[in-house]
Structure 1
Amino acid sequence: MAHPTIDPTLGPVLARTGGERAILDAFLDFHRGTVLRKVRGLTDADAARRLVPSQTTLAGLLRHLTVVEGNWFRCLFAPGPDDVYRTSQADADASFALRPGDTVETLAAAYEAACEQSRQVAARFDLDHVVPHPQLGVVSLRWALVHLIEETARHAGHADILRELTDGETGAI
């Protein structure tokens, strides 16, 4: 019997019989990759264009998710002396704002670097490892991973809609 070919970008499918950690990592990386694929091939102007009433843009999503990665993994699980966990809605809203000189490439590179740093930090701890959280008391690494899957998937959906509005392209890949 021939085995079906599985698209290698579908990490969650490939990890379907893996352990809990492999499955969590695969889903998070899949959604991270989806966000990056949504901005690839766009001009800087298209990525920065506002298509909805909020400040949400494709480029802004990259900036926001870069902040989110650092906030949840570096600031909570491996904080440096200058790392401060951002808790306010104003901080979250500001994280979508683009800065002079932001480009698709610089934003994508920063996001990829933040994701890699998050992977390295997360790999140092067991899923049951807990850290203090300024609003929730304590959170486990498992909870943080699931939260980041939810957050990234939500924004991947936003990116999908914004990309379709930009040039008609649809799909996760």
Structure 2
Amino acid sequence: MTVVSRPPLTSDERTQLTGWLDLQRSFVRMKCEGLSEAEAHRKMLPTSPLMTVAGLVAHMRWVEYSWFHLNVLGTPDTGQTPWTEDGHPDAEMFVDDVPLAQLLDEYDAECARSNAITASLSLDALEQGPSVREGGAASLRYVLCHMIEETARHVGHLDIIRELLDGQTGYTKPD
């Protein structure tokens, strides 16, 4: 995924929501450019050892899957997710043996599937999966806003980890 532009200033709501989400998603791959496997899997935060570049990419992939497939569409989990009933709550972040390129490709593919789901539904469509929140099912509009927030927050984490790894900051490509 290449870095995309911000959505047009006067575009419709759907274009704004999907545009801002796609922009944040594009920063994920950009923040990973030029990293070695060792750097991508390096544990920089002693209090959060699962929060590596690779772990965050894997987490974001499964968050996309969870929100759009499990929640919005209501697709039952048939065991393809990394979570189990008695397993670690952050099981998706145990990726020390998975190459960063594979994780990024899986993330991009999941984002494309999420975009296809989004394109097929009204912004007013309600989640079909079992609701775990007080207040019931959320609209697709809510999910898109949440995913903008979720993705931007984790892009910020990637930005900090990247700075700790090699000093690279901001939204510029590494030299």
Q: Same fold (TM over 0.5)?
A: yes
The runs of at least 4 consecutive aligned structure 1 residues that moved more than 4 Å come to 83-88
| Higher relative helix content | 1
Percent identity among equivalent residues? 38
1:46-99 CA-partner distances (Å, limit 9, x unpaired): 0000001202000101000000000000112234454579799x7652221115
Q: Which residue of structure 1 lines up, in the alignment, with residue 126 of structure 2?
A: 130
Residue ranges of structure 2 left out of the alignment (5+ in a row): none
Residue ranges of structure 1 left out of the alignment (5+ in a row): 1-7
One of 56, 67, 74 as aligned partner of 2:69: 74
Offset, 1:43 = 0.7
Normalised by the length of structure 2, the TM-score is: 0.84
Query: What residue identity is the alignment partner of 2:52?
Result: T
| Higher relative strand content | 1
Query: What residue identity is the alignment partner of 1:11?
Result: S
The equivalences for 1:135-146 within 5 A come to: 135-136=132-133, 137-146=136-145
Normalised by the length of structure 1, the TM-score is: 0.85
Query: What residue identity is the alignment partner of 1:135?
Result: V
**Secondary structure of residue in 1 paired with 2:137:** strand
One of 58, 66, 72 as aligned partner of 1:63: 58
Query: What residue identity is the alignment partner of 1:64?
Result: H
One of 15, 40, 43 as aligned partner of 1:22: 15
Query: What residue identity is the alignment partner of 2:108?
Result: E
Whether the 8 Å contact between 1:75 and 1:83 is mirrored in structure 2 is no
Counting matched residue pairs gives 163
One of 93, 97, 122 as aligned partner of 2:90: 93
Aligned mates of 1:67, 1:59 — CA distance in 2 = 13
Q: Which residue of structure 2 lines up, in the alignment, with residue 44 of structure 1?
A: 37
Q: How well do the aligned residues superpose, as a CA RMSD in angstroms? A: 2.3
